[in-house]
Amino acid sequence: MASAGLSRSTSARISYRSVSVNSPRISGYTQRKWMVPGTFFNALVLSFFLFSLILVLGCIIYLYWFRYLARGGSGVVSEFSGSAEGCDVFEGNWVLDDSYPLYNSSVCPFVERGFNCLANGRKDTDYLRWRWKPWRCDMPRFDAHEILERLRGKRIVFVGDSMSRTQWESLICLLMTAVEDPHSVFEVNGNKISKTIQFLGVQFSSFNFTVEFFRSVFLVQQVLPPRHSPKRVKMSLKLDKMDDINRRWVDSDILIFNSGHWWTPAKLFDMGCYFQVGGSVKLGMSITSAFRMALETWASWVEFSINANKTHVFFRTFEPSHWSGSGQKACEVTTRPTLEAKGNHRSEFSDIIAEVVANMSVPVTVLNVTLMGAYRSDAHIGTWSHPASILDCSHWCLPGVPDAWNELVFASLYGHGWR
């Protein structure tokens, strides 16, 4: 899957109008060549062109070379792209690394029981030791001490479904490995993690920053349908209106969205939920068309509401599941990553996200994690859920794949000169 262009560049076009030496304007001066206006003008323009070219090359050398040296020559690319100048960090493979996992899920108090596969009886542990390795570069190792210092006084916000909550938990656990006093990290309202709670916020009091999660599975408003709607319409998604809690997302430094897993017939039409635009319910609208319209509403909201000079915005693509069997109800968890991408890794949702972001007027980084997750049929919860009777080939064990998503977030921030 091709990844979206994830940063914008500006290009300067330098042009000039040359004057022909055969022009009637200078034909009378051919005997006094040292005063020929055309020759002098051409020389002046050529000098200006050469000077400008040297200046542009100097800027390129500074941006791409000295900034690279300032990062210690770690191989971090300056942008996430598939161009010849950069490295597409979403194209690669999983390699065994004995320094993984980066944290102990049984020690971190913010891993909910349903994601802690070891605590739920999983015996094999190889699934914990895989690191994502792009083909053409290396990502920097997650340095929790350095990141904690850079996050002082800041605010990280995750918005989305349970996959977003998993990434939120992962980041907290990654950062807690460098916290001296675990009791200095706490949920701001004293809440316990649950599947349905709308807001969770964890304060790192020693560093004065928060990592927050807002549950918004569709990103747009889910409301009662208009009056006189057909009886089968119990709820509607207002595709042209953002979730009414959006005001609480605005004043953040890092803002990470996801959506997609609830955009299915089972979670929409089977539950009596249909799409609405303005005051009209659109009974015949397809899910992919509705998803695109919702994403366009989200894009407009970002462009209007977010201060791009303060907030780094990310959108994570659809994460593949690995259900199998008749009716996609069987869940077979492997012991190692597969050599070929499996599962629903060709998601139209990921393509729509990339297309919508490409047309935005503000910078948004697409975390194109769909393909990298398609190799990890070993990393799902499977039968090691809580309660154990629930099969799960959609969500991921922690530690696991969501840790790589957070590594990608901070690799991107470093690559864009985050300070």
- pLDDT at position 26 is 35
Return d(Cα 393, Cα 380) in angstroms, integer. 5
- Which residues 6+ apart lie within 8 Å of 299 measured at CB? 356, 357, 359, 360, 364
Return d(Cα 179, Cα 194) in angstroms, integer. 24
- pLDDT at position 352 is 95
- pLDDT at position 318 is 87
Q: In the chain, what is the straight-line distance between the N-terminal and C-terminal CA atoms, in Å?
A: 31
- pLDDT at position 386 is 87
- Mean pLDDT split into 10-residue runs, the chain, 419 residues: 39 34 37 47 67 63 36 35 63 95 95 94 96 92 96 98 97 97 96 93 98 98 95 97 97 97 95 96 96 98 96 94 82 92 76 96 95 95 89 95 97 83
Q: Are 331 and 323 in contact (CB under 8 A)?
A: yes
User: HSE (CB half, 13 Å, CA atoms) of 273?
Assistant: 17
Structure token pair of residue 332:
């077979």
Q: Does domain 82-415 have CATH number 3.40.50.1110?
A: yes
Residue recorded with tokens 């004293």: 190
Structure token pair of residue 403:
């840790």
**Read out DSSP for 275-295?**
EEETTEEETT--HHHHHHHHH
Give the burial class of 315: count Cβ atoms within 10 A of its Cβ; 0-12 exposed, 13-18 middle, 19 or more buried. Answer: buried
CA distances from 149 to 168, 204, 311 (A): 19, 11, 18
Return d(Cα 135, Cα 99) in angstroms, integer. 20
Q: Are 394 and 323 in contact (CB under 8 A)?
A: yes
- pLDDT at position 31 is 40
CB atoms within 10 A of CB 309: 5
CB atoms within 10 A of CB 13: 4
Residue 314 DSSP SS3: strand
Q: What residue ranges do the domains of the chain occupy?
A: 27-65, 82-415
pTM: 0.80
Residue type for 24, please? Answer: P
- pLDDT at position 292 is 98
Return d(Cα 237, Cα 218) in angstroms, integer. 8
- pLDDT at position 369 is 94
- Which residues 6+ apart lie within 8 Å of 395 measured at CB? 114, 115, 162, 163, 166, 380, 381
Q: Are 192 and 284 in contact (CB under 8 A)?
A: no
